Amino acid sequence: MHRDLKPDNILVAPNDCLEISDFGLSARVPKGVSIARWRITKESAGSPGYCAPEMISGSGSYGIKSDIFSLGLV
């Protein structure tokens, strides 16, 4: 899980493919756990303008769907 998708972290390669950068806040899904069901419960992370609501509030757990939300905002 990246946890900080925003325009500054999405680069255009010379072959016009998109590449994701800045994995400083990323989290690894534990082995044997389904990525669709994995959740992380920690303080809020990421850039406020591109975070899913559950990441901003810090009150709930968040997972891969939070990255999809951020990508939709980009």
Catalytic positions, written as ranges: 4
Element (H, E) at 71: helix 64-73
Using CA atoms, how far apart are residues 11 and 19, in angstroms rounded to an integer?
5
- In sign, the C-alpha dihedral spanning 22, 27, 73, 43 is negative
- The maximal CA–CA distance of the chain, rounded, in angstroms, is 41
